[in-house]
């Protein structure tokens, strides 16, 4: 981006490490839509989103972040959730936005959820990867995490990496690093595409559908804007990458649970796969 400040200046001068903690969600999050279908309960220890035929609901973080490691425990919609989508993502606010997505695609009872991931840079996505989970995400809370630093973006499920997107700007591949992003989440009806490509519709007799959130941890973040990025806490996450053990776990997930990879979809890209797929 022409005229943008150097990355080192952005990291060291513009953002401040946040200390959000995993306590009262009222301090970290604000409900943005849903007309009462979103609620912060249990003294701020839990947030619930609901969807009925009238509307879904959503929330966002009070802070914007430029880089961070953010964890959230989520319990997804149980039973027949076909047609519903629970989202959990980071997004910037400009027209050419950056975005890092978890989307949990609903299912028929007894069938596994699909975790749909995507990465947008300057308003362009088309980088979808999808995975089954190796557990029932509706039976209990599980931790879903983003690590976003100047070198890489890593998606984690219960501490296991499921996807990595490295900074490859040296090869002309855009990487989101100059726009602050806000954590957002929503529960909405997407039965035109979410379950079996839209062939299975939402059964409104099961409504309201509800997802629950707790234990947000944004201790390791750069909060935008500020005058410095200094902290007495460890901020090694700013240069963290997957180590050999992490790469082994990532390969295990891809081998056993990957459903779709845009880098393997030559029919979708008849004129050649995106350049990052060839690295």
Tell me, what DSSP letter sits at residue 136? Answer: -
Q: How far is CA 174 from CA 1, 69, 76, 178, 204, in A?
A: 10, 21, 32, 11, 41
- The sign one gets for the Cα dihedral 229, 233, 238, 239 is positive
Distance CA 262, CA 247 (A): 20
Q: What is the largest CA-CA distance in the chain?
A: 54
Of 30, 93, 103, 276, catalytic:
103
Q: Considering only CA atoms, which of 62, 55, 53 is closest in space to residue 35?
A: 55
Annotated catalytic, 28?
Answer: no
Distance CA 106, CA 192 (A): 12
Tell me the backbone φ, ψ of residue 172, rounded to 5 degrees: 85, 15
Annotated catalytic, 99?
Answer: yes
Helix and strand element counts for the chain (H, E)? 3, 15
Q: Considering only CA atoms, which of 66, 3, 21, 22 is closest in space to residue 228?
A: 66
Of 99, 164, 169, 276, catalytic:
99
Q: How far is CA 96 from CA 32, 58, 179, in A?
A: 22, 22, 10
Residues carrying an active site annotation = 99, 103
């Amino acid at each position: 981006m022409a005229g943008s400040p150097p990355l080192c200046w952005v990291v060291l001068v513009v953002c401040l490490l946040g200390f959000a903690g995993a306590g009262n969600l009222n301090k970290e999050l604000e409900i943005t839509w849903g007309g009462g279908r979103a609620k912060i309960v249990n003294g701020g220890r839990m947030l619930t989103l609901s969807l009925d035929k009238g509307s879904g609901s959503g929330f966002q973080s009070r802070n914007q972040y430029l880089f961070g490691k953010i964890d959230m425990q989520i319990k997804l919609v149980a039973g027949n959730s076909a047609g519903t989508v629970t989202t959990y993502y980071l997004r910037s606010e400009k027209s050419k936005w950056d975005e890092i997505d978890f989307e949990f695609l609903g299912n028929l009872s007894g069938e596994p959820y699909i975790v749909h991931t995507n990465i947008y840079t300057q308003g362009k996505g088309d980088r979808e990867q999808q995975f089954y989970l190796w557990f029932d995400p509706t039976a209990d809370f599980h931790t879903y995490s983003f690590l976003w630093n100047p070198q890489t973006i890593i998606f984690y499920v219960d501490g296991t990496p499921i996807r990595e997107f490295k900074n490859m700007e040296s090869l002309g591949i855009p990487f989101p690093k100059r726009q602050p992003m806000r954590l957002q989440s929503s529960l909405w009806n997407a039965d035109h595409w979410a379950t079996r490509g839209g062939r299975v519709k939402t059964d409104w007799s099961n409504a309201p559908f509800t997802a629950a959130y707790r234990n947000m941890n944004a201790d390791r973040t750069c909060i935008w804007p500020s005058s410095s990025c200094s902290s007495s806490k460890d901020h090694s996450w700013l240069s963290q990458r997957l180590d050999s053990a992490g790469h082994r776990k990532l390969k295990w997930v891809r081998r056993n649970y990957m459903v779709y990879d845009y880098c393997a979809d030559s029919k979708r890209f008849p004129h050649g796969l995106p350049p990052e797929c060839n690295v």
